[in-house]
Structure 1
Amino acid sequence: MESRRTFLKLAAGTTVALGLTGGISAVAAAEPLTSVPLDHIGIQLYTVRSLMTADAQGTLNALGTIGYATVGVSGLYGHSPQAFRAMLDKAGLRAVLTHTSWDAMRANAVKEIETARALGVRYIVVPSLPGSLQTVAGYQLAASEFGRWGVLARSAGLKFLFHNHGVDFKTVDGRVLYDILVEETDPRFVNFELDIYWIYQGGYDPLAYFARYPGRFPVYHVKDMAPNGSFEDVGHGILDWPEIFRAHAQSGIREYVVEHDQPKVPLDSAARSYEYLRTVRF
């Protein structure tokens, strides 16, 4: 598996420049090109959280106008799940996933699943694990809990996913923590929302994970990296999106969900990322 070498090359901007603006390698140029399905381009609402707090309906309307078809829900901003879904309907958007939390799932997984069903999502996602679990035993516990929640989710017509951060790729006692979650869960019940920025930031290559664990990654957080390692609008950073997207059949990707953790102007950032995903070919 590629390890820190991949991230260091990216940070130096020496190996991926060809893909930054939708360029195509000589090898790929000889192959039939494809594109991201427009009805599967979404945005994590965390990207526009400041606007959602002030005007949820207006923000959702604006995202629909940009062209987004779907959203990932990141909190309900004081609305009931039913009211939130009605706002999405009005904006012409559909929620494909919702983020809950480790603590909320441990407290009442059935309630969290009921909320997800009311939103009409396909995936319920735990987006992070407590720092206290950053041991082999802690991640084995998480894998066990994920399996239990995955069975509950499937019985409710949903799918359970885990979303990574860079810290999940720490090596502890000779094991990469993230690998424990993949290897000690059943793909019938547990799969992964792969945050592309954070796997690179953690020192690993998503393509290697697609090869090792095919079909386990039905959702990407499409998040780009600036040359200095910070966040960037999709298609305007150093990550080679055509290369990543070309592995779509192997990865199992269904939903392409844009996220930018710290956008200066959230809707402008959302529009730039959407335009790239709409036009990129691979």
Structure 2
Amino acid sequence: MDLRGRRGRREREAHGAAAAGDRHIEELAKAHDLGVVSVRVATHATEADIAIQHIGKAREFGMDASGFLVTSHMAPAAELTERAKIMEDAGAHCVYVTDSGGRLTMRDVRDRVHAYRHVLEPTNQIGIHPHENLSLSVANSAVAVEEGVTRVDASLAGHGAGAGNCPIEAFVAVADIYGWKHGCDLFALQERPTTSCDRCKTDRWGWTAKPSRSASRASIPVSCANHGLDTREILVEVGRRGMVGGQEDMITDIALDLARKKVASRRIEPLAPHAMGPRES
């Protein structure tokens, strides 16, 4: 959603996303040939330097180029802003605070966007990509706009990976309350969600607590079934170790480590007096 006060274009535009990597340069060229006009180049929050050539190539093609700093919660505001500046210097028209882990609070978002705005060129845009893990995606988006964000990622009924993205119906309602110009028809948006969208919203466990990546959703239940663990135990440990997308194969190792610790703790638990049997006289 573009909050710069203009109505959305009537002609259809194709948008795409790419992870930084050598082979993606060729895919970027193919996407451009197919009519894609806007691309996001995604890297981990601390690895913006590997996106320089991709952003530059997108600009050569005349595409709208955005930098997408994934798992923005894993870098403090000052460090994240340094990475955002690298993407801007490479030619990005917009750089995102990307809460792909659904971990940022309103204060976290405010700090990061505020830092962006004081370092990035005022002519360049800032975006927010929120997730709904803590049910803060709408609030985080509103705070971000207050701090200067003009691009907000949202979807019908919050459809998206893991716990879902920002539900566009709720965000547009907030935007109307604040008097922001967005070019969206709230009533039309409310009529669009399908039955599957509505079902997704009523599944509160899935809505707020699923692993934030689809690959993790596949790995974690298997690990739990094999080792008698609670999914949440593994998720907490994944977060404690600072794992990111692409490291899902380590989830099984984490499950094994936790299972071993559980077995070891049971071995050293003292027996209750009644469990020790009668004493010999």
TM-score, structure 2 normalization: 0.47
For the pair shown, the structure with the greater C-alpha radius of gyration is 2
TM-score, structure 1 normalization: 0.47
Which structure is richer in relative contact order (CA contacts within 8 A, separation 6 or more)?
Answer: 1
